[in-house]
Amino acid sequence: MSILIKSATIIAPGNNSLHQKKRDILIQRGQIEKIASTIAPKGSEKIIERTNLHASIGWFDGGVAFGEPGFEERETIANGLDVAAKSGFTDVVLNANTNPTPDTSSDIVFLKDRARGKLTDLHPMGNLTLGGNGKGLAELYDMHNAGAVAFYDHKKSLSDANLLKIALLYAQNFNGLVCSFPQDASIAAYGNVHEGAVSTRLGLKGIPALAEELQLARDLFLLEYTGGKLHIPTISSARSVKLIAEAKKKGLDVTCSVAIHNLFFTDEELETFDTNFKTLPPLREKKDSQALIKGLKNGTIDYVTSDHTPIDIEEKRVEFDNANYGTIGLESTFGGLNSLVGTDMAVELLTKGRERFHISAPDLKEGVPANLTLFDPDETFVFSNGHIGSTSKNSIFLNRKIKGRVFGSIKNGKIELN
């Protein structure tokens, strides 16, 4: 297939020869053949022309959930990857929250097979412990050899410090990445939302920021003792940003991410008791979201994730205490992030993170495989159900004004456009 992208403003921070330049891009047989001010069509190309068209290298999401196997009613792998492609993400890391959870090499092979032939590449994580029960290590080395990019008991805190110590030591044998969810379960207890003035006023059980910070401090002490590579998914508090910054100054090999909704929203949204605002970690206070944005800008936080978590309607249309955690986010991540930090930084953040999972980063130049995201950074609109391609509709951004519309993406010789 030949594709000719016409008059696209290229967003490539750090590449002075292309950044903010308007160019035509010719793609032949999946490779970028030519980038020039003007390329005349020959008649056989699929021509892409959009108002205010912009292009960057393909975006990356380091933490999505779909559902298959076990929760296909929430989202299948096939549909989830189609949604990711149309949302601009050409690589996604899949969380281990299926049923059964991926504990073995054959589980990883199954997940990769289900994603075969799609535009967006899927990179599965395996469980850190068997069944995610926190009591014994899963088959880390075998899963690594099968293609697992990291090991994580999705949104489950590991209470056994010695088990995390062993995992960090063992994974060094094959340069494996260990992930640890930052929440002390004994402190969080039966909480549903951030513990503070809002939870007190609404009568909702709280999860104090201390639960996150205490677990994070413990994990960083363990990393300092063992060495190895540690990733902390979705931090949410100002103090956590400070702890990560201090650890990096010590030279510890630690990275972290933040979910887009913890940047965009605060616990003030809970006044409506809308269960789409029930997330884990919970939405916290304004000072926390401001510290998280500052941590992104100064490099303390390594990348942003959609934390895309489809939940079916039966688990959301219930009393707030009984609702399941999670919000979908692939379709709205760019618009939310672009609204907060501007286009250049949004694109820079959405293209970071691959290297942590040993995923090859794409390039935007002639002679390389086309791996591109197409978008309009300036269109402002109210996000609605009509913008959702996911099977589940539990979006925290519903009825929220955001800035930036994604047209689609190109990779693996395929194109997906909205």
- Domain identity same for 43 and 82: no
Span 19-28, average pLDDT: 97
Distance between CA atoms of residues 396 and 274, nearest Å: 9
pLDDT at residue 1 is higher than 90: no
Closest CA to 364 of 19, 91, 118: 19
How high does pLDDT run on average in the chain?
97
**Domain-located, residue 279:** yes
Residue 9 is part of which domain span?
Answer: 2-55+365-377+404-417
- Domain identity same for 119 and 31: no
Q: Which domain CATH number covers 408?
A: 2.30.40.10
> Residue 14: which pLDDT band, with cuts at 50, 70 and 90?
confident
**Domain-located, residue 72:** yes
- Domain identity same for 32 and 118: no
- Domain identity same for 32 and 145: no
Distance between CA atoms of residues 178 and 315, nearest Å: 30
> Residue 43: which pLDDT band, with cuts at 50, 70 and 90?
confident
Percent of the chain with pLDDT over 90: 98
- Domain identity same for 413 and 302: no
Reported pTM:
0.97
Over the stretch 175-186, which tens digit does the pLDDT of each residue have?
999 999 999 999
Residues annotated as part of the active site: 307
**Domain-located, residue 382:** no
How many domains does the chain divide into? 2
Distance between CA atoms of residues 390 and 394, nearest Å: 9
Distance between CA atoms of residues 187 and 257, nearest Å: 22
Burial (CB < 10 A; 0-12, 13-18, 19+), residue 390, is buried
- Domain identity same for 204 and 336: yes
- Domain identity same for 101 and 250: yes
